[in-house]
A and B are shown apart, each in its own frame.
Chain A
Amino acid sequence: MLAVTLNAENLSVSLDGTVHLDHVDFTLARGRLYTVIGRTLAGKSTLLRVIAGLLEPDSGRITLDKRQFSGLPVWRRDVAMVYQQFINYPHLSVLDNVAFPLRRRGTPKHEARRRAGELLMRVGLEGFETRRPSQLSGGQQQRVALARALAKQAGILLLDEPLVNLDYKLREQFREEFRGLFAGQADMIVVYTTTEIGEAMMLGHEILVLHEGRLLQMGRPADVFERPASTTVAEIVNDPPMNLLDGHIADNTLHFSSGMGATLPLHMVALPPGRYRFGIRANDLEMRPDGAIGGEVIVAEVSGSETFLHLDTAIGPLAVKCEGIHPLALRTQVRLALEPERLFAFSPEGGLVAAP
C-alpha cells in the first residue's frame, strides 16, 4: 500500500475577527478514518473547508505527500465532500446525480450509469434510480449525496456532520452502515466531523478533539476517552459532559470544596497535596437509596434507551446517566453514590494528572 499522508502545519484561519483555526498541526494517513469532534463553532467545518480548498488559511500550509496542497484550486484537489444539508442536483434523477462526477471526468454514459447503479446498491437505494431527489426522504437524499461523493473516487473524502439533520433511528442505522461502507476504502483519507462522541468513537480510527479552533488532542478513540488531556477534552468526549468539581487533597483525603470528603483512591495517592479539579462521568454516578450525596432533579431527558438527569446536589450541579427510561419529575429527591475509584484528577489549570 502507498504510504500517503495529508499533512497540516500551523494552520490558522480567522473570519470576521473570529478565530476558526488556531495553529493546527496534524498528519492524516490514507486508509484511515478520522473523526473530528467538537462543539458548534469549534472550527470543524472550517477545517474541512480548508482541506477542500473552499477557504484559504491565513497562515500555515497543507501538503499531500510533501507536495504543496494549499493554493490548488478546489477542482484539482481530488476531494469529495458530503454536507449536513442534503445537497443534490434537483433536476437530475437519482441515478444521474450519482453518475454526474463520472460523466464530468469523461466516463462514457453507459459505464457511468452502470457504476452509479452499483453505488446506489451499496448505499441501499436500489430501485430509486429514476426518482428525483425531491421525491425522497431526508435519509434517502443523504444516501444519494453519499453515493455521489463515493463515485468521485477521490483520495480524500470529507463528511461534515452528515447525520445531524436525521432523527436518531436513522442516525443509528447510518452509523452501522458507515462502518461497512468506509472499511476497505484503503486508498482514501476520510475525515468526518460530528458533535456526538459515540459516533466519533465507533467510526474513527483516530479522533481529533477541536475546541475554539485549537486541536486539543488526537489519538485512538479509547485512549482519548480514557485519558482526556484536559478538562475541556473531558467535557467534549463525554455526553453529558464530564462532571467537574473543585476540591483539594490533604492528609491523604480527597475534599470537595462543598466540604464533603472521600478516601483518596489508589490512583491518586502519588499526587502531592494541593488544589485539584475532580472529574466524574455521568454514567459513573449511581442512584442508590443509601448514596451519600443528596440531590434534586432539575430536568430529566431521554436519549435512545438512556435517561440523562440534571441534578442540583450537595456537592454542586451534577449530570447522571442511567440505563433505561426513568420518568422523574422536576424536584424529585434522589441519592447518589460516588466511587472515588472512578474519579479523574486535573490540575487547577485543567491538565490531566490522574485517571482511573
Chain B
Amino acid sequence: MAQITLKQIGHSYSGGTRPGDYALCPLDMTWHDGRTYALLGPSGCGKTTMLNIVSGIVTPSQGRVWFDQRDVTGLPTARRNIAQVFQFPVIYGSKTVYQNLAFPLVCRKWASDRIRRKVGEIADLLDLGAKLGKPARGLTADEKQLISLGRGLVREDVSAVLMDEPLTVIDPQMKFHLRRKLKEINDRFKLTLVYVTHDQDEAMTFASEILVMSGGRVVQSGPPEHLFEFPQTTYVGYFIGSPAMNFLDAEGQGDRAVFAGIPLTTAYPGDRVPQGAIRIGVRPEYLEFVATAGENVLAAMVVDVQDHGGVRIVEVEVGGARVKVKLAREKPVPEGPALLRLPPGKIRLYRDGELVPLD
C-alpha cells in the first residue's frame, strides 16, 4: 500500500481564506504505509472533509495530496485506486456474495481460476465462505459491510483503505464482533487505513495513531497510549479515558503546584512549572488511597461509591473539589475520611487548557 502525504492541505467550501472560512485548516500530514489512522472527533470537526480530500470526493481549495511519489490532487476517485467503506453498505444486492467480491477482479480481467482462489481466500477471512452463493441482499448489515471491505481487499494493488464511520448502521450488539473482525484483518494485512469515527473506543482499538480533531484542526495526534498519558488539552483529557481525567484548580509557586494550600511535587523540572493559575490533571486510574500522611498526600472525604463490577468508581471531596478514583474490586474502599495520594509522575499541568510540556 501507499504512503499518503498531505502538503499544506486545507479546504474552505466558500473559497475564503480567513480562519473562520476553513472546514479544514491548512496542515501537513504524512500517513505511513501499513499503519492505521483514526480521525476522531464530533460532527463538523473536519474529519470527513479530510477523508474526502484523500479519496478525491473533495478537491482541496489549497495544497497537494501525494500517494507515494505520485501527485494525485487532480485525479478523480476512480483513478486513485483506493478502497472505500462508507456508513451504509454499498453492494450489488441482486448479485451473489461471490459476484460482489469478484467484481473488481472481473473488471481487471483476471483469469477465472485466479479470481476463484482470491475470492475464496478473502471470503474465508471474512467468515463469508459459506455464503458465497447467496444473494447479497439477504445478508445482515455487518456482513454487507464486510463485503464492502472485501471488495477492497481482493485487489492486491490498492493504495489505501478509507472507512467513514463503517459501524454506524450495525446493530449495537454486532458492533463488537465486527470491530474484532476488522481489527484482525487490519493486524494481518497491514493496511494503510484511514478510519473516520466519533467513537473513542473504536479509534483506540483500531488505530496505531489517532488524530483528535476539533473545529477543522488536529488538536493532538499520536498513539492511543500517548493520548491517554499526555492529553494535549483538557478537552482530550476529558474525551479519552473513562471516567475522564480529573482537573484541579491550582497555582504554580516556584517548583511546586499548590493545590488547596498544599504544595505538590510533580515530575516537572522546577523551572518548567508555570507561575500563577494552572490546572492539575490526574487520571482516576492513578490516584491512590494510602494509610499514612506523606508527600502529595491529601486529606479527602469519600462521598460516593459506584460499583461497576470489576472496578469501583469512588468519588471524593478534596480541597473543595471533587475527584474520581478508580479502584480494582479487590482493593479496600475507605469510608468517610481518607488519605489520597497524587503520584508525582502522573501529574500533568495545564495552562489555559493546554498541556505544559514535561521536557
Q: Which residues of A contact B (CB under 8 A)?
A: 39-40, 84, 161, 164-165, 167-169, 172, 179, 195, 197-198, 201-202, 221-222, 225, 237-239, 281-283, 298-305, 310, 321, 323-327, 329-330
Contact = CB atoms under 8 A, between A and B. Distances in A.
Contacts of A323: 285, 326, 328
Given A195-B173, A305-B241, A202 B308 contact: yes
B155 interface: no
Given A283-B328, A329-B187, A167 B310 contact: no
B263 interface: no
Nearest to A305: B241
A20 to B, nearest CB: 16
Interface residues of B, number: 39
Contacts of A238: 309-310
A161 B205 CA distance: 24
Interface in B285-322: 285, 306-311, 313
Contacts of B242: 168-169, 172, 303-305
Given A239-B309, A327-B208, A164 B172 contact: yes
Contacts of B310: 198, 238-239, 281-283, 321
Contact of A221 (B179, B183, B307): B307
Given A283-B328, A325-B225, A198 B309 contact: yes
A304 B223 contact: no
Contact of A202 (B198, B307, B329): B307
B313 to A, nearest CB: 8
Interface string B248-286: 000000000000000000000000000000000001110
A225 B310 CA distance: 9
Nearest to A304: B242
A237 B171 CA distance: 21
A330 B188 CA distance: 8
B224 A302 contact: yes
Interface string B65-108: 00000000000000000000000000000000000000000000
Contacts of A281: 310
A167 B200 contact: yes
B187 to A, nearest CB: 4
Interface in B180-233: 180, 183-184, 187-188, 198-201, 204-205, 208, 223-225, 228
A283 B312 CA distance: 13
A326 B225 CA distance: 7
B239 interface: yes
Contacts of B208: 327
A327 B173 contact: no
B187 A198 contact: no
23 contacts: A40-B173, A167-B198, A168-B199, A169-B238, A172-B242, A198-B309, A222-B307, A237-B309, A238-B309, A239-B310, A282-B310, A283-B310, A283-B329, A298-B184, A301-B179, A301-B180, A304-B201, A304-B241, A305-B285, A324-B228, A325-B224, A327-B208, A330-B187
B129 interface: no
Nearest to A221: B307
B173 A305 contact: no
A170 B172 CA distance: 15
Given A167-B200, A305-B241, A324-B228, A202 B306 contact: yes
Query: 6 tightest A-B contacts by CB?
Result: A304-B242, A302-B204, A330-B187, A198-B308, A40-B173, A325-B225
Given A167-B199, A197-B308, 10 more contacts: A161-B172, A195-B172, A195-B173, A198-B309, A201-B307, A201-B309, A222-B307, A299-B183, A324-B285, A329-B187
A328 to B, nearest CB: 10
B135 interface: no
Contacts of A39: 173
A303 B188 CA distance: 22
Contacts of A202: 306-308, 313
A161 B198 CA distance: 20
Contacts of A169: 200, 238-239, 242, 244
A299 B182 CA distance: 10
B225 A172 contact: no
A237 B205 CA distance: 23
Contacts of A225: 307, 309
Most buried by B among A84, A225, A321: A225
